[in-house]
């Protein structure tokens, strides 16, 4: 790799220790200008989420309460920045902050109720979406899927930044998004129209599992952070990802649950059909199997994604899934990715989530991705080995 002509942030030293990469100080002005150019004449607002939005949004009561870390960072780094010169600098107006009810699920459709800083009850469909050109959604729960649908209906642009923390502000939201976009496009071009991807997993104890995802020569897509022009669109930030909507999937892959339980998931015809315990709590596995039986759509694979950035671990999947050398699957709705799984296909509204399953060293230390292979035309290319990008990918990223 050392002989390749690569940016400094793709050097062996930084790839081995991405926390050593240096970033410029976070600037809301720089980020908004890069992502949304043009901004002149645009009316902007911020959305956030609470279990009790009227209570906590009125007079910004959440600022004086314990917790609400994401909401406070959104207020400090975006709301205050907008009102302290950023709107004037970028030619924007508005700057209001509103709160809606937590969905308590990734990418679930939101209730229409929303509240302003005076506690006034408003409507997202009637008062927010039609009246703003740019909507920044800084929340605990991802709203990318529902906002993507709404932007096409109402014509706004936006950015979702759920799970924001200090590491993300100082790295994934501080990068040069022209570079992020360029790198994502380089990876997209070498992966587009692939026939299939195979992923080999090795668990502690030497158990090897393989999953194969059929892509049927579809165009690879990218999450690159740029939402320029005036066409309706929503950027998911931090960005830096190439992704596909699987046409089919079969095999097995490991799953580390939130409580630390490790299971093996059997996949057939694109659907997770069964979970089996490796270590941890059998009740966690039983609960997952009961959910699969009750609503099989919850086990349908809706995304295969690959990170394209070199970023420090943030312990928030929204950034960590964008790291070069990692990959992720997702179950559930994928309509915001151009897929065919929509909320109406689920038995219950609360099941219609889009849930990422990230494979990364810090996230899944009890198993390794020994290799990821891409089948394309008559060739087989290695993409990742042991959570490191292959020489094939590094060549793609040359200057």
* Shared domain check, 263 and 143: no
* Judgement on whether residues 215 and 299 belong to the same structural domain of the protein: yes
| β 93-101/43-50 pair status | parallel
- Asked whether the beta carbons of 78 and 134 are under 8 A apart, the reply is no
82 phi/psi in degrees, rounded to 5: -60, -40
For residues 325-331, give the mean pLDDT. Answer: 96
Task: Using the 3D structure, point to which of 170, 203, 234 is the last residue of a domain.
Answer: 170
In a domain, 255, yes or no: yes
Q: Which residues pair with 213 in a beta bridge?
A: 197, 249
Contact at 8 Å (CB) between 162 and 137?
A: yes
Let me know whether 150 and 238 are in one domain: no
Give residue 385's pLDDT band: very low, low, confident or very high (50, 70, 90): very high
Q: What is the pLDDT of residues 287-311, one digit of tens each?
A: 999 999 999 999 999 999 999 999 9
Kindly list the distances between the CA atom of residue 349 and the CA atoms of 201, 261, 300, in Å, as whole numbers in the listed order: 33, 26, 16
Of 79, 238, 86, nearest in space to 173 by CA: 238
Domain final position from 114, 139, 170: 170
Could you tell me if residue 12 is inside a domain?
A: no
Give residue 218's pLDDT. Answer: 97
Q: Is the pLDDT of residue 2 over 60?
A: no
In a domain, 6, yes or no: no
CATH code for position 124:
3.40.50
Mean of all residue pLDDT scores within the chain: 96
13, part of any domain: no
339 lies in the same domain as 203: yes
Contact 326, 309 (CB under 8 A): no
Confidence of residue 354 (pLDDT cuts 50, 70, 90): very high
In a domain, 369, yes or no: yes
Q: Which tens digits make up the pLDDT trace of 120-173?
A: 999 999 999 999 999 999 999 999 999 999 999 999 999 999 999 999 999 999
Residue 268: its pLDDT value, please? 98
pLDDT, position 5: 85
Q: Per residue in 200-216, pLDDT tens?
A: 999 988 999 999 999 99
pLDDT higher than 90, residue 399:
no
For the record, the structure tokens of 336 come out as: 């915001």
Which of 170, 200, 221 is where one domain is finished?
170
Asked if the structure places residue 210 within a domain, the reply is yes
Neighbours of 326 (CB within 10 A): 24
Q: Are residues 150 and 252 in the same domain?
A: no
Please check whether residues 237 and 129 belong to one and the same domain.
no
Q: Which domain holds residue 43?
A: 24-170
Q: What is the mean pLDDT of residues 178-189?
A: 97
Instruction: Tokens 């004086």: give the residue.
Output: 64
Q: Are residues 310 and 274 in the same domain?
A: yes
pLDDT at 1 over 80: no
Q: What is the mean pLDDT of residues 277-282?
A: 97
Please compute the mean of the pLDDT values over residues 69-76 and round it to a whole number: 98
Q: Are residues 194 and 83 in the same domain?
A: no
pLDDT of 3 reads: 62
**326 — pLDDT class (breaks 50, 70, 90):** very high
Classify residue 10: in a domain, yes or no: no
Domain-embedded: residue 186: yes
Same domain for 89 and 222? no
Residues 335 and 194 reside in one and the same domain: yes
For residues 266 and 368, membership in a common domain is answered with yes
Number of structural domains, the chain?
A: 2
State mean pLDDT over 267-284: 97
| Same domain as 160, residue 76 | yes
The pLDDT > 70 percentage for the chain reads 99
- Strand ranges for 110-167 from DSSP E: 113-115, 121-123, 134-137, 157-160
The 8-class DSSP code of residue 280 comes to: S
Task: Kindly report the number of other CB atoms within 10 A of residue 332's CB atom.
Answer: 27
């Amino acid at each position: 790799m050392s002989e390749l002509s690569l940016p400094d942030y793709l050097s062996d030293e930084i790839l081995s220790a991405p926390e050593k990469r240096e970033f410029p100080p976070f600037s809301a002005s720089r980020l908004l200008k890069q992502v949304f150019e043009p901004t002149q004449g645009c009316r902007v607002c911020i959305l956030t989420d609470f279990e009790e939005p009227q209570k906590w949004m009125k007079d910004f009561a959440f600022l004086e309460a314990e917790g609400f870390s994401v909401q406070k960072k959104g207020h400090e780094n975006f709301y205050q920045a907008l009102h302290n010169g950023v709107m004037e600098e970028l030619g924007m107006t508005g700057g209001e902050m509103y709160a809606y009810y937590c969905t308590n699920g990734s990418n679930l459709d939101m209730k229409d109720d929303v509240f302003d800083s005076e506690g006034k009850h408003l409507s997202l469909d009637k008062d927010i979406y039609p009246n703003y050109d740019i909507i920044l959604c800084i929340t605990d729960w991802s709203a990318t899927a529902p906002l993507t649908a709404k932007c096409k209906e109402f014509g706004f642009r936006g950015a979702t930044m759920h799970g924001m923390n200090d590491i993300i502000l100082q790295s994934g939201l501080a990068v040069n998004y022209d570079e992020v976009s360029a790198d994502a496009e380089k990876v997209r071009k070498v992966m587009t129209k692939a026939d299939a991807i195979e992923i080999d997993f090795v668990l502690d104890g030497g158990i090897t599992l393989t999953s194969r995802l059929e892509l049927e020569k579809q165009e690879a897509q990218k999450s690159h952070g740029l939402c320029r022009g005036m066409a309706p669109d929503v950027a998911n930030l931090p960005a830096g990802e190439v992704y596909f909507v699987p046409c089919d999937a079969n095999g097995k892959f490991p799953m580390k649950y939130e409580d630390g339980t490790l299971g093996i998931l059997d996949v057939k015809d694109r659907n997770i059909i069964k979970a089996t315990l490796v270590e941890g709590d059998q009740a966690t596995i039983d609960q997952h199997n009961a959910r699969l039986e009750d609503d099989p759509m919850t086990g349908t694979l809706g995304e295969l994604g690959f990170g394209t950035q070199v970023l420090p671990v943030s312990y928030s999947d929204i950034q960590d899934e964008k790291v070069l050398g990692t990959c992720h699957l997702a179950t559930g709705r994928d309509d915001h990715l151009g897929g065919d799984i929509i909320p109406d296909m689920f038995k219950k509204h609360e099941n219609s989530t889009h849930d990422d399953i990230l494979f990364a060293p810090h996230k899944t230390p009890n198993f390794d991705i020994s290799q990821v292979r891409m089948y394309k035309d008559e060739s087989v290319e290695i993409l990742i080995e042991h959570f490191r990008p292959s020489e094939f990918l590094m060549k793609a990223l040359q200057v």
